[in-house]
Structure 1
Amino acid sequence: MKIEHVTKIIDQQPIIEDVNFSLSRGEIVGLIGRNGSGKTTLFRTIAGHYLLDDGEISIEDQRIDLHPQFKEEIFYIDEKENFLNAYSLRKINQLYRQAYPRFDQDLYLETMQLHGLPLNHSYRRMSKGMQGLYKMILAIASNATFLLLDEPFDGLDVIVRKKVVGLLLENLGESQRTALIASHNLNELETIIDRALLIKGKTIEADYRLESLRENARKIQLVFRSKQVPPLIKQHAKLVQRQGRVLVALFEHYDQELAEAIRRLDPLLCEELPLTLEDLFEANLSRETLMKG
């Protein structure tokens, strides 16, 4: 799937603007950004709930607005306009079998039985955790190539969350299907994604491949004699945390040459810390920057 120069305007205000990225088969990709950054609008636009104001969305080089049959390749449940509340699980099953021609009914029934979900249950009477689990069952059974999952771990207890993650990993691993997941649960997200797309300023600002990031990036805690941040650090790092003279900074491209240059600054402390997806979020989306002070 290719997202090219996609813009969506609502009430004469651009919500997402000039968004560009691609999704390959077999990937699990995280979409991270602050509240109101446009994640849900992007999902709704990809799924066809909103018309494009500019740009193109294509699957196999075919624009989905011109070839609507490709919408069968996209699974998305809009939480705000969640029509599932009106139906039993049996009726929802019938609707999704009609919507997705490759719907795997055997997998659906087997997984429902495994997790103790009777078909005569009313969706709206289920706990939030069971609703989350059920939506993941629907997503997997749909056999859609691209799963757009908006906060799939929100409000789930530890046991249900593990079931949801297990379902996703077990069924996507060998099927060459792709999941794009928006979540504020960065600790959970980090354990399952291959890439992280950072949405900021109405667009995708960065596309991180986590394997490459772990190889090349470092989180360093530094203390200098002066409260002034050396120009070298401002040039090469993003701030994760600052307290007095203590800096915790993210260096996305850290090599031996940079390490030697930092050593020549003679810091009182230079200590490497474990790097997490949460650090990436804070370094890119915190309002504070190293240019202060």
Structure 2
Amino acid sequence: MIEISSLCKNLGDEQILKDINLKVEKGSIFGLIGENGAGKTTLIKCLTGIYKADEGEIKINGQEVFENSDVKQKIGYVADQNQYFSSFKIKELVEFYKMTYTNFSLERFKELNKIFRISEEKRIRELSKGMKMRVSLMLNLSIQPEVLILDEPTSGLDPIIKKKLMSILMEEVAERNTTIFISSHHLNDLERICDSIAIMDKGEIKYINNIEAMKDSIKKLQVVFKDKVSADFSSWNEIMTVEKLGRVNYIITKNYSKELEQKLLSHGAMFVEEIDLSLEDMFIYSMEEGKKNEKILA
């Protein structure tokens, strides 16, 4: 559905994206996470055809995105900062979208507005950031897109509306087989809805996996040894970090297996307990691991 191959992008003299390669399956929800300045928004602007790639290619349904109006008809894009005509009323913006997108559904907009509750008589300049986000979400869901690209879509939304939005997105996938590409700092939300996740750092994709596989691989182990530890297991390939608190060792794995557990037992562990991590925890530990490796290589 979405294929990004060897993508590079410079802004001025700075290289922002470096050899990005991604594939997103149709009817899936793909999450992009990373620290501020990692290049997430630049990648999204390339994906939506706002920026032209300096190298590589981006295809949706086998077609290049940049300057391709047929493909863009099928893409909904909700930006982190929604810049609309400030003097327009909501109902005038709806008319603009109806003229622009052939599949725009006024019925769908009205249905969504029963949830988001924005008066169509209000002008854009009268709206708060969260209200503008609601309008953008309604408009882009109403074009009935094949691909929905969201950059921080819960920014400015209250908890009740945010929860409703997550349900709407899952319904979009279940009922219309929509493909959703979403970037957010709210990792708990992504954990609930995403099939796969990519971690981005300094313009590069550092890690890609589906959520369940991540949970199977990245775990926290609580380990107690009988006597003094006989091995420096912090250097083992399967292990990211070790934190010690008294006799208890908290081990973060990057490739958990029952073989690793047996390996610890053979080195004198008398107690090994698995502790599942949240996506936020996994992200933090993965980023710390990457920075540790950078220091080693420097």
Specify if TM > 0.5.
yes
Cα distance in 1 for partners of 2:82, 2:131 equals 19
Which residue of structure 2 lines up, in the alignment, with residue 187 of structure 1?
188
Cα distance per residue 1:52-100 (max 9 Å; x no partner): 1000011222222364421222222334462254422112212222332
Cα distance in 1 for partners of 2:249, 2:196 equals 27
Which residue of structure 2 lines up, in the alignment, with residue 108 of structure 1?
109
Contact kept? 1:103, 1:143, Cα under 8 Å: yes
Contact kept? 1:108, 1:141, Cα under 8 Å: yes
Cα gap change, 1:65 to 1:218, in 2 (>3 Å): same
Q: Say if 2:275 is the partner of 1:255.
A: no
Cα gap change, 1:76 to 1:18, in 2 (>3 Å): same
Which residue of structure 1 lines up, in the alignment, with residue 124 of structure 2?
123
Cα distance in 1 for partners of 2:19, 2:85 equals 32
Cα gap change, 1:33 to 1:228, in 2 (>3 Å): farther
**Amino acid of the structure 1 residue aligned with 2:281:** D
Contact kept? 2:76, 2:141, Cα under 8 Å: no
Which residue of structure 2 lines up, in the alignment, with residue 270 of structure 1?
272
> What's the TM-score once normalised by structure 2's chain length?
0.86
> Shift in Å at residue 267 of structure 1?
4.0
Cα distance in 1 for partners of 2:86, 2:30 equals 28
Contact kept? 1:234, 1:291, Cα under 8 Å: no
Contact kept? 2:233, 2:239, Cα under 8 Å: no
1:235 maps to which of 234, 237, 242 = 237
SS of residue matched to 1:121:
coil
> What's the TM-score once normalised by structure 1's chain length?
0.88
> Shift in Å at residue 107 of structure 1?
0.7
**Amino acid of the structure 1 residue aligned with 2:239:** A
Cα distance in 1 for partners of 2:166, 2:43 equals 23
SS of residue matched to 2:15:
strand
Runs of at least 5 residues in structure 2 that lack an aligned partner in the other structure: none
> Shift in Å at residue 229 of structure 1?
7.8
SS of residue matched to 1:235:
coil
Cα distance in 1 for partners of 2:187, 2:230 equals 32
> How many pairs align?
292
Runs of at least 5 residues in structure 1 that lack an aligned partner in the other structure: none
SS of residue matched to 2:193:
coil
Which residue of structure 2 lines up, in the alignment, with residue 132 of structure 1?
133
Q: Say if 2:88 is the partner of 1:91.
A: no
Contact kept? 2:3, 2:58, Cα under 8 Å: yes
Identity of aligned residues (%): 28
Cα distance in 1 for partners of 2:33, 2:269 equals 33
Q: How does 1:129-168 map to 2 (within 5 A)?
A: 129-168=130-169
RMSD: 2.8
Cα distance in 1 for partners of 2:49, 2:115 equals 33
SS of residue matched to 2:36:
coil
Which residue of structure 2 lines up, in the alignment, with residue 15 of structure 1?
16
Off by >6 Å, runs of 4+ in structure 1: 224-229
> Shift in Å at residue 177 of structure 1?
0.7
